[in-house]
Structure 1
């Protein structure tokens, strides 16, 4: 397969623009040039990459697979160009990172402000998603690194993982919930739950099910799953649904007037927030700077712990 970067750039431009004419305008070349590059690429790929119709150009199954690879390849090219400039002392370019909800609330705003003081010409592109998704995007090179929750059972042997902080979780309900003062999980057995994670999975997603199982109860009744913790907390704050989420989220100014911790005696397994990056692949100088700062900032965070029926925020910075 004799591919060129020019062919891949033209291919991605057509995929993004939805037509050859729009891609040609975006690239500043003649439409015939776009057609020529696509034909060469389709010959190498062994089949058509687009289905052309009155609604424009849509990717075929081969095209969809190539799009994934092309994004990775072109992303690495951009990273390499940035790295070469940065090694020459030109602090320009972009850092792409993923941040899970708790890391966003506890760490990122101050971290970004400090980084911008040091590197004002660097564009920081932030992606928020579940930790499961962020981990996948680190693996495929879409992100330079991520600040994500990782359970003890998760398989991250192919990644470099640096511990940032512990993340204890607790049951969260809306303020005024009829069972808001329950002291045992059994009292909540008939409630419905909203989760940011799939019902059946092998990592951190199963903490709620494990909590019920350890208490000798039937599996929890899941009303819905979401892809964002903010969606989960919004549902909880406006209904009688419950959620099992990080303690710090319930104490955040965005939510503390609307949700509260249900003081049950049972505690779910704590997890950790890690800085995840691809093993064996060096970060660009500015990405490494931001990653190192994230580790340093995390070491100064106050600890959070759950003591049976309440959450305690230890405001003594770690040394």
Structure 2
């Protein structure tokens, strides 16, 4: 290859793959269709292969195009991070960070860390995504998130990621105060209950589901699944659903008087929370600062410390 593609070539290619056609890409980039076509032809000439072809559905990638597309996304993401890092170094008030977390509402240390970051970076853009590890990791691996905080599991490989352990936490079956099954002592007594559980194809919650509802055990209600704590709270308080939750809720003033944990003789596995980010990713000063604050606030969090005793 006599020369490398320019960032303009890469941006044009990404726009076509994202929007599905040259016409839509031109509109998104405020360019003319001939310009987009010209850059595409130049890019294919530089690479010496055909990247895409027209189809009834718009534009379709060739095998070369499918191979090239994730690399382009990664290159452009790293360039965007580099520009953001330079901007942050020159002006500490700006920058952006996007991260995911399971049980976001339960952990006060995260909101404390975010508050500190907003004081130091008053113009920073912070985006939070709530979800379970199996659902969020693809976003992290694709570079759409800077890091994730959640329960790790041996069932999900973290070989290409960096894991920084935060703390361990007990889990239990949660119900509203006064629930008819609030004093049950065995899982067998809960078979007829209505359940709301997090969506998880693999990992901690998938393992819990197998433990709580073994193959062959009949349930009187189908299990409702979702990743919204707000929906979970409503179903537990208003419709007598049961769910699984970190027992740290017992230390949250606004929640401890509304919910209770059923005193089952069967103990659920402890959840081990970690902070996870991509091994190949260069963390910007803002992201590094937020991670540092999360570790600090986590060490000082009363609920976390009580769980470690």
Which TM-score bucket, shorter chain as reference?
0.7 to 0.9
2:110/2:297 contact within 8 Å kept? no
Task: Name the structure 2 match of 1:208.
Answer: 209
Shift in CA distance, 85/172, structure 1 to aligned 2, threshold 3 Å: same
Superposition deviation, residue 139 in structure 1: 2.8
Task: Name the structure 1 match of 2:283.
Answer: 283
Task: Name the structure 2 match of 1:48.
Answer: 52
Task: Name the structure 2 match of 1:302.
Answer: 302
Task: Name the structure 1 match of 2:40.
Answer: 38
Shift in CA distance, 237/250, structure 1 to aligned 2, threshold 3 Å: farther
The alignment of Structure 1 onto Structure 2 pairs a total of residues equal to: 302
Shift in CA distance, 51/129, structure 1 to aligned 2, threshold 3 Å: farther
1:100/1:130 contact within 8 Å kept? yes
Task: Name the structure 2 match of 1:177.
Answer: 179
Task: Name the structure 2 match of 1:246.
Answer: 246
1:134/1:148 contact within 8 Å kept? no
State the structure with bigger RCO (CA 8 A, min sep 6), 1 or 2.
Answer: 2
- TM-score, scaled relative to structure 1: 0.77
Superposition deviation, residue 204 in structure 1: 4.3
Superposition deviation, residue 187 in structure 1: 1.1
Superposition deviation, residue 108 in structure 1: 2.4
- Supply the distance in 1 between the matched residues of 2:186 and 2:248 (Cα, whole angstroms): 21
2:155/2:202 contact within 8 Å kept? no
Structure 2 gaps, min length 5: none
Shift in CA distance, 222/78, structure 1 to aligned 2, threshold 3 Å: same
Shift in CA distance, 42/174, structure 1 to aligned 2, threshold 3 Å: farther
- TM-score, scaled relative to structure 2: 0.79
Cα deviation per residue 1:256-292 (whole Å; 9 max; x = unaligned)? 5664322223220111221112235441222111111
Task: Name the structure 1 match of 2:131.
Answer: 129
Query: Higher helix share goes to which structure?
Result: 2
2:151/2:204 contact within 8 Å kept? no
Task: Name the structure 2 match of 1:310.
Answer: none
1:183/1:264 contact within 8 Å kept? yes
Shift in CA distance, 23/273, structure 1 to aligned 2, threshold 3 Å: same
Superposition deviation, residue 300 in structure 1: 0.7
Shift in CA distance, 255/48, structure 1 to aligned 2, threshold 3 Å: farther
Give the RMSD, CA atoms, in angstroms.
Answer: 3.6
Task: Name the structure 2 match of 1:138.
Answer: 140
